[in-house]
Amino acid sequence: MESGNTHTETKNEYTGDATLAIVAYLTIIGLLIAFIMNKDKNDPFAAYHIKQSLGLTLCGIAVFVVGMVPILGWIISFFGSLFLLYLWIMGLINAINGKIKPVPFFGNKFEEWFQNI
- Statement: residue 17 has pLDDT above 60: yes
Is residue 11, in this structure, part of any structural domain at all? no
Count of domains forming the chain: 1
pTM of the predicted model over 0.95: no
The percentage of the chain sitting over the pLDDT mark of 90, rounded to a whole number, equals 67
CA angle 27, 30, 36 (to 5 degrees): 145
Q: What is the pLDDT of residue 11?
A: 57
Output the pLDDT for position 85: 96
Whether 9 maps to a domain, the answer reads: no
Task: Provide the CA 25 distance to its chain's centre, in angstroms.
Answer: 6
pLDDT in tens, 45-91: 999 999 999 999 999 999 999 999 999 999 999 999 999 999 999 99
Residue 75 lies in domain: 19-113
Residue 7 has pLDDT above 50, yes or no: no
